[in-house]
Chain A
Amino acid sequence: MWTLIQIELYKIFRRPRTYIAFIAVAALITIIQFGLKLDGKSYTDFLMKDIGGTMEIDGNILNGYLICYIMLQLLLVHVPLLVALIAADMISGEANMGTLRLLISKPFSRTELLLAKFFASTVYTLLLLVWLAILALFLSLWIFGTGDMFLMKSSYVVLLSENDVFWRYVGAFVFAALAMVTVAALGFFLSIFAENSIGPIVATMSVIVFFTILSTLNIPIFNALKPYLFTTHMISWKEFFDIQVNDANEAIVGSIQNPQKIVNSALVLVLHIIGFVGGSIWIFNKKDVLS
């Protein structure tokens, strides 16, 4: 099994297109950092317009922690496309090249083959997130410095103490990894139905775009659907950055406002991963492979 995973990883990382994702993430992050470094004050002034009427805020608001949060909000919507580029190609790519039939004639089961391919695409996804974390968090901390995290939500603001932020990012990245592996599992599932890569990649993105729009639309008729859409749960990483307050309205350091929501969302995502991968194995084991 380990050999199979190594072979699949070798296949992924010898293709130039694998590195498109890493380059795209690096380009996006550095351009945002560059823009905020040059003109971050205008950005924060714009955000502070409302709160500035009541409070005076002193200190380095635009520090590495806030920059990373801003980037995660923007990028975690687009990273699924980069994940789909590889995951949705895992089976369909072999079918397209005509190597799938040859591959399943080797002395290991179809289940082992699929699991190895899925683990390999998971490794790719996790590496992409590690790359994202290095650039968005550590590079931002190096460029913009560290400090308390001042987060503006739509109806309230959260001030997190400097020593209460890093563990939240660890949690958020672990959660984001789960969300991206769910995307990988979806792409992987769709890839068993096609004999070229374009179809499953576009289909994966279409599903995500469609579900994301339904998740974000605040129309009552769609609200009932939201809990059942995995895209609704993919953004629960933000919950790590909301803090509980006690009766005296003091924020409780080390707390999360709604930990149950994180657990529930994580469970929903895990169930989706199991469903997509299990479904892939079940269908592929019954499939007549002709290419």
Chain B
Amino acid sequence: MSETDLSRRQLFVAGAGLVAAAYGLAGCTVERPLDRSAAGNLVEPKIDGDLLIFNWAQYMDPQIKKSFAEKYGVEVKEVNFDNLEAMVTKLRAGGSYDLIFPSTEYVLRLRNEQLIRPFDRSKLKNADSLTPFYDSPWYDPNSEFSVPYAYYTTGIAWNTNEVKEMTESWNDMSNPEALGRIFMLDDFQEGIGQANLLNGFYLNTEKSDQLEVSKQTLLDQKEGLRGFSTNSVQNLVSGAAALTQAWNGDVVNARNQVDDPSIFKYETCKEGVPVGSDLMCIPVTSQSPGTAMLFMDWVLRPDNAYRNVMWNGYPMPVAGGREAFAELVKDDPSIDVDLSQLADSAMEFRLDSPEARQEWTRIWTEVKA
């Protein structure tokens, strides 16, 4: 053995050192503790500094930021995330953003973790016209931590040149006219959710026997799939998809990219319509929470909401936003799903425990594997 080789004793000592270090870490979370002292204080809408927005890319008309900056004499900057888990990780690590755009489930998680701050919604002048669906949502019962930014329904989009018979049911996910040219959203909740609805189960069921049945449904549907993908716009426009599970905003964007938008139609299904929402929240780490609150109000102002919907193609549940979306899809009103029309069939994804989440993701992996 040459002298540069590790001896067994050295290896043992190094191993013992690693175990000791691991013991020191045991019970700790990945991130260090954060100053959450602001979590209990109500935010007041007043200019208290420049604004840093943390949002999905291409999700807000830049003109809205520009006009706000001009009106209030502050700088408005935007940085982007490409998934919510990464966004939360940065918040936990102490990242100082003023406004974030989580989904409903993430609002609940951020609230439980004391990572977002409460505010008085009645002080937002433009919140009065919000759709009542958001008055007392499950993830934020008193609407103290969030206001809605945009929402989307999940349904099925198809190319009318290739598919003629549709039945307004999740059964259409295995429409024989489209076999081999069908895409399912690559999202474990959307995938399992539609199978649950098709089987007559609760959208978010946590019952193992029901989930097993839905898994079989998914495996059957998989036979006719061309892929799992959230890139519905590209799949429709490129001709890869004859039929795809889709979010209504993406159907609008696909229609905008072709000469004859009437070739793409969209249906919601009678077994149930999943509704997703992106919301606006103020993190505890915000340096300018007051400015952030004024900016929320600015985004919800009817003319800005109108402009924004026209720009990104996703409906906003507020005066101005609703009208804009209706106008975008006036030749195919089926895409314009108003939350108040949905009444009982509207449903939101929620998994209340990490165990349920793991069960769902395990099933999803088994389907995709």
Decide if A and B are genuine partners: no
